Structure 1
Amino acid sequence: MSVRVSLVAAARSSAVLAERFGDELPLDHMGWREIQYAAHALVPLGAAELRYCSPTPRSRATGDALGYAPLVQLALRDCDMGRWRGLTLAEVAAREPGAVDVWLADPRSAPHGGEPLLAFISRVGGWLDTRPVHDGWIVAVAEPAVIRAALVYALGAPPGSYWNVDVHPLSVTTLTGLPGRWHLSL
């Protein structure tokens, strides 16, 4: 018995260079257009027995636009970035360059006063490991950061590899397996 979890990255709410930590913005015009273009490939995922999303406006809107009617899962929220919330990486690097270096180098650090990367990865992994275990299918719409954390956890990769994973808007990543034994399906 195993479960299949298809993780759909939320559509965009801003240009990549304008992304802010803890972005609570709704989908932008380009995000809505991307959903229209990708809907033919993504709507069939709505046949999954369980459909979830992270609590961000863009994740909920993406799931709703694709007809998933997803249930919000707080464990799928983005990493808590503390006092960096609302800032871009460039803004933080200009204000606290040493803190950014520590944050990028040490997954146990939280110079922003929020959640350490390691705790974020563990939280998302805990969500994966508590999904119903049966021959079933789950779809979840989440922020790219959440999907990166799920991949690092599922593959048992070093936490620092989180920074080497790119997740594009509306991409689908599928994990299959059982709690603690996940496989990436490409």
Structure 2
Amino acid sequence: MSLVLRLLLFAHASTDALAVARFPSDDPLSDRGRRELRRVHPPVVDHALTAPERRAVETAAALGARAEPDTALREVDYGNWTGRSMSEVPEADLAAWLTDPHAAPHGGESIAALLDRTRCWLDTMTDRSGRWLAVTHPSVVRAATVCALGAPASAFWRVDVRPVSVTRLHARDGRWTLRLT
């Protein structure tokens, strides 16, 4: 009998950075984010993990999850773009980052590196079973979805993840499936 892992990837609630199209730092939830969470029914899980950033930890706490921090779930490293608005970033650099998964003009993490990190994390999860919650960032949810589907890195920006959304993945025999409900 093979182990089955049910993984709920929960995108953290809104922040002020999201509202103004700014690359986030360790931002807290906004008033809007706290309102979003009041409308969410906490999922029933056996185990919970959270990205280490404040907005993810606050989201996990609002869900009533006693979540263990996992650095593999951390936000993509925006390098010297952290805290800057998109309009402050040179257009050519932003275009390169959005079209080339290996580009990191900000001096931080490329999308390809984020995908590799997320793929490694998913691999470590496949020997577990039960119902797991991972409160993390839209970038990590996008990466996990791309990895689970075996899609190319170029598909990363085609996955839209909104705040407080839940993406369901199941693992069995080391293989991931995306479950839509």
SS at match of 1:137: strand
Deviation at 1:69, TM superposition (A): 1.2
SS at match of 2:125: coil
- Describe the superposition over 1:118-172 as per-residue Cα deviations: whole angstroms up to 9, x where unpaired: 0101101211110152441110111111111111111111111111111111111
Unaligned runs of 5+ in 2: none
CA distance in 2, matches of 1:178, 1:107: 29
Contact 1:128-1:179 at 8 Å conserved across structures: no
Tell me what 1:121 maps to. Answer: 115
Contact 2:17-2:27 at 8 Å conserved across structures: no
Tell me: CA distance 1:124–1:134, structure 2 relative to 1, closer, same or farther (3 Å): closer
What is the letter of the counterpart of residue 65 of structure 1? A
Q: List, as ranges, runs of 4+ consecutive aligned residues in structure 1 with deviation greater than 6 Å.
A: none
Contact 1:154-1:180 at 8 Å conserved across structures: no
Contact 1:107-1:159 at 8 Å conserved across structures: yes
Q: Say whether 1:58 aligns with 2:55.
A: yes
Tell me what 1:70 maps to. Answer: 67
Contact 1:10-1:62 at 8 Å conserved across structures: yes
**When the two structures are superposed, what TM-score results if normalisation uses the length of structure 1?**
0.89
CA distance in 1, matches of 2:141, 2:21: 16
From the two aligned structures, give the one with the greater helix fraction. 1
Deviation at 1:56, TM superposition (A): 1.2
Matches within 5 A, 1:3-42: 3-14=5-16, 16-38=18-40, 41=41
Tell me: CA distance 1:129–1:103, structure 2 relative to 1, closer, same or farther (3 Å): same
Unaligned runs of 5+ in 1: none
Q: Say whether 1:88 aligns with 2:95.
A: no
Deviation at 1:181, TM superposition (A): 1.6
Tell me what 2:102 maps to. Answer: 108
**When the two structures are superposed, what TM-score results if normalisation uses the length of structure 2?**
0.91
Tell me what 2:154 maps to. Answer: 160
Contact 2:17-2:24 at 8 Å conserved across structures: no
Tell me: CA distance 1:159–1:16, structure 2 relative to 1, closer, same or farther (3 Å): same
What is the letter of the counterpart of residue 182 of structure 1? W
Deviation at 1:178, TM superposition (A): 4.0
Tell me: CA distance 1:78–1:176, structure 2 relative to 1, closer, same or farther (3 Å): same
Aligned length, in residue pairs: 178
CA distance in 1, matches of 2:168, 2:26: 25
CA distance in 1, matches of 2:119, 2:67: 19
SS at match of 2:26: coil
What is the letter of the counterpart of residue 80 of structure 1? D
CA distance in 2, matches of 1:133, 1:89: 40
Root mean square deviation of aligned Cα? 1.6
